[in-house]
Structure 1
Amino acid sequence: MPKTILLATAALAALAATPALALDVTKTATVAAPPAKVWQTIGAFCGIGDWHPAVEKCVLSEKGGKKIRTLSLKGGGTIVEEEVSRDDKAMAYTYAILESPLPVEGYKSTLSVAPDGSGSKLTWMGNFKAKGAPDAKAEEVVGGIYDGGLKGIGDKAK
């Protein structure tokens, strides 16, 4: 087999074996409230039950020393998430999805609050791979979750 064909075949095989690239979604919002008040509104890891419009109930538990939240969604469905890290001083926490009906896998996300003039800037960013859906659909679903949550935090922190 000529060398160029062999190299092209090897390159194609390597490309086919490459895993799908991770997707990133970042949403931000400004809130006319001081960062400390916004962070207090976000609350503890299960505080999402108080401000996210899609969450009916949040139940907190622990597994292996890690906080686990089980979210019951309005209209049905359950998401189980693990708090990976939390820094109250920096006003940020990171979590990972353990179980979910969402079209994502390997999902890890950070929600943070920072000063922005006389108010606050909220940033919610996630990294994941699409599962059972096109990349654009997975990004749309996650983006919608973030938009709803950021609006919920903003409404509650006023």
Structure 2
Amino acid sequence: MLRHALRLGALPVLALVAGTVPGFAIDVMKSIDVAAPPAKVWSTIGDFCGIGSWHPAIEKCVPSTKGSTMLRTLSLKGGGTIVESQTNRDDKAMSYTYAIVEGPLPVSDYSSTLAVMPSGSGSKVTWTGTFKAKGAPDAVAKDAIEGIYTSGLAAIAEKAK
């Protein structure tokens, strides 16, 4: 009986410890084929702050720097802002990687890469991200990022024609 009580008494402590364990990384990858050559697609999306001209959720993008790091502040349609930093760029490979510095999305430790590559007579644009859910279940965080990627890729395909 005492053993049983001790085990039950340990449950709240175990639950507390388990609640502090960091979440697992969530990976999202979306891609779209675009009926335009890679150089044309890259000219549409390669500018780090150019997202303000093609993503339907972005009202405007304001570029800035902090030291040698390029930043972009995205004003969202309907309100809110996201600040992102460019962490890697390869114009020859037509890709850039960025991280969210601050914003309202239910994610943390977010890193994402947007890349263009040849595909048949056109291009393939791939948007990948890895992150942890923050303040929301994993499925909600994943759905939010997938929605951003899906709407952005559709807009790229339309604009780069």
What is the TM-score when the length of structure 1 is the normalising length?
0.89
The counterpart of 1:144, out of the listed 131, 143, 147, is 147
Q: How many residues align?
A: 150
Asked if structure 1 preserves the Cα contact closer than 8 Å seen for 2:46 and 2:95, the reply is no
Aligned partners of 1:153 and 1:86: how far apart in 2? 19
Q: Alpha-carbon deviation of 1:18?
A: 4.3
Q: Deviations over 1:9-52 (max 9, x none)?
A: 9xx79x93642110001101000100010000103100000100
2:3 corresponds to which residue?
A: none
1:85 corresponds to which residue?
A: 88
> Which amino acid is the alignment partner of residue 52 of structure 1?
H
* Secondary structure of 1:139 counterpart: helix
The counterpart of 1:43, out of the listed 40, 43, 46, is 46
Aligned partners of 2:22 and 2:124: how far apart in 1? 34
Aligned partners of 2:22 and 2:46: how far apart in 1? 36
Aligned partners of 2:104 and 2:31: how far apart in 1? 24
Q: Which runs of 5+ in 1 are unaligned?
A: 1-8
> Which amino acid is the alignment partner of residue 74 of structure 1?
K
Note the 1:6-85 alignment, pairs <5 A.
16=18, 18-85=21-88
* Secondary structure of 1:33 counterpart: coil
Structure 1 residue ranges, 4+ long, deviating more than 4 angstroms after superposition:
none
Asked if structure 1 preserves the Cα contact closer than 8 Å seen for 2:62 and 2:72, the reply is yes
> Which amino acid is the alignment partner of residue 136 of structure 1?
A
Aligned partners of 2:111 and 2:67: how far apart in 1? 18
> Which amino acid is the alignment partner of residue 118 of structure 1?
S
**What is the aligned-residue RMSD (CA, Å)?**
1.9
* Secondary structure of 1:138 counterpart: helix
Q: Deviations over 1:96-153 (max 9, x none)?
A: 0000100001100000001100010110010000011110010000000001110111
What is the TM-score when the length of structure 2 is the normalising length?
0.88
Percent same amino acid among aligned pairs?
Answer: 67
> Which amino acid is the alignment partner of residue 144 of structure 1?
G
2:119 corresponds to which residue?
A: 116
> Which amino acid is the alignment partner of residue 37 of structure 1?
K
